[in-house]
Every structure is written in structure tokens, then in C-alpha cells.
Amino acid sequence: MNEKLRSIQEVAQLAGTTSRALRHYDDIGLLPPAQIGSNGYRYYNQANLTRLQRILLLRQLGLGLGQIADVLDGTQDDTIALEDHAEWLRSEQARLSRQLASVERTIAALKEGTELMAEEMLDGFDHTQYQDEVEQRWGKKAYAESDSWWRGLSQSDKDEFKRQTDALMMDWVAASRSGDAVDSEMAQALATRHVDWLSIGWGGTRPTRDQLLGLGEMYVADERFAANFGGIQGATYVRDALAIHAQTMAT
């Protein structure tokens, strides 16, 4: 007695998948049907069904078809393949967690009505680990002044300030990657611009030499600041360039 053969549609319904998927599995050689009629029709036997069952099981565990082929053909051990896969799932989970945290932070920042970068650069003072240091160096009123100044701006003023901020940051990044020395003309020009930019944010008050040095250190030490300059390396470049510039400042 020869085995019972089933059409592609029957098989798809039995296994809870689609005929298209079965054709795909055939195309990639994962599940060739037991027989192919002279009309080109695919006919599947019991062994095919069993294999399909295992394919679908592994699929719903999230394995790729290539992996599944390896496992079913004995090229790779089931347990090892699944443990690798579990490891991958865990890393994906971790990645999603981080992404979700970032998104939630961003939402929170947006809801406070402050642009992310402006928030980080201006409002960041009061919730970093450097809060005490910052306060004793500039005093709480310095931040408060900056804050009230910011809130008093019109939307277009805010946009314009943000544009300036963005441009400055990007120029710093460009400079740090150009290979130019921190005491080069270009870097020092940027340092001058940076001081000007700071004084805008501080309502016209210009930073003292010590404040400038302290700011530089903070850029390097706090990754949230450093990120604006293209990471630690960029921040280091900015700090050094500002330090050079500070020497030329009037006391």
C-alpha cells in the first residue's frame, strides 16, 4: 500500500499555514514534496507532514529557515541551535529595553516642552551628579537666570538659538575629526564662538576663566554632554581647545 498523498492546500490547512509558504519551502529546498505530478502539482506524504510540523514549531520559536534546515538535516544540534537562538533573543530583548528607555526619556523631555538638546545643555545643570559642584561654582541663581531667560523667549527665538547651538556642535565635531590641533586657528575660532554662544544662553553674562575650564571638564565627564560633541573624544577636544582659549582671556 502506498502512502496517502495530499494536495498542497490540504497540507496547508492541516498544518495551519499557507500554500504560498509551502511553495516557498520547496523553492529553498527546505521541504520538497514527496511527489510531483506530470501536471506539476505538489503531493505531500506523511513524512513531509511530520517535517513540516517540526519546521513550523521551530519557526514559532523564532528560528530562521536556514537554521531550521541545519537542525532538521542534522547539520547542527537542536540544543545548541536553540541555545544560540535564546542568546540572540536575550540580546534583542536588551536592545529593545534600551530603546524603549530612550524613547520614554525623549517623550518626557518633549512633554516638558523643552527641546532635547537645549534641555541637556541648559537645564541639565540641576540633575547631574555635578549638581553640588555646579551650584557651588556658579550658584543656583545662575541656572535660574538662564532658565527664566529661556522660558521668556519666543518660539522663533528658541528655534534660532537651537539652530546656532546645532551649528556650533556640528562644527566642533567636524573640527575634532579634522585632525587640526586644539590650538589651531580654526579650533580657537570655535572656542571664541563657544564663549559667545554661552553668554547668549546666560543672558549676556560671559563665563569667567574658571567657569570655562569647569564646563570643559563637565563636557568630558558627563556622557550626556559629551554626546553633543560627538562622544568622549570630541568632548575632550572641546575641553582642551577651551582650556587654550581660557589662557588668552582677560582675567
Q: Which residue lies nearer to a second copy by CB, 72 or 249?
A: 72
**Residue 49 interface partner, choices a second copy, DNA, none, CB cut-off 5-8 Å depending on type:** a second copy
Pair 205, 199: CB distance under 8 Å: yes
Q: Does 20 bind DNA (CB under 7 A)?
A: yes
Q: Which range binds DNA by CB under 7 A, 35-43, 106-114, 134-142, 240-248?
A: 35-43
Does 203 participate in binding DNA (rule CB under 7 A)? no
- Asked if residues 128 and 134 have their Cβ atoms less than 8 Å apart, the reply is yes
5 binds a second copy (CB under 8 A): no
26/123 with CB nearer DNA? 26
Stretch that binds a second copy, among 12-20, 142-150, 180-188, 216-224 (CB under 8 A): 12-20
**Residue 137 touches which of DNA, a second copy, none (Cβ within 5-8 Å per kind):** none
Q: Using CB under 7 A, which of the segments 5-13, 74-82, 83-91, 234-242 binds DNA? A: 5-13
**Chain center to CA of 222:** 18
DSSP notation for the chain? -PPP-EEHHHHHHHHTS-HHHHHHHHHTTSS--SEE-TT--EEE-HHHHHHHHHHHHHHHTT--HHHHHHHHTTSS-HHHHHHHHHHHHHHHHHHHHHHHHHHHHHHHHHHTT--HHHHHHHGGGGGSTTHHHHHHHH-HHHHHHHHHHHHHS-HHHHHHHHHHHHHHHHHHHHHHHHT--TTSHHHHHHHHHHHHHHHHHTTTPPPPHHHHHHHHHHHHH-HHHHGGGTSHHHHHHHHHHHHHHHHTS--
Q: Is 66 in the site for a second copy (CB under 8 A)?
A: no
Nearer to DNA by Cβ, of 19 and 184: the residue is: 19
Q: Which three cell numbers stand for residue 84?
A: 544560540
**Residue of the chain from 1, 16, 40, 251 that contacts DNA (CB under 7 A):** 40
- Nearest Cα neighbor of 216 from 231, 200, 238 is 238
Binding mask 190-229 for a second copy (x = CB under 8 A): ----------------------------------------
Binding of residue 116 to a second copy (CB under 8 A): yes
Which residues would be at the binding site for DNA (CB under 7 A)?
7-10, 18-21, 23-24, 37, 39-42, 59, 64-66
Which residues would be at the binding site for a second copy (CB under 8 A)?
10, 13-14, 16, 46-47, 49-50, 53, 57, 60-62, 78-79, 82-83, 85-86, 89-90, 92-93, 96-97, 99-100, 102-104, 106-107, 110-111, 116, 163, 166-167, 170, 173-174, 177, 230
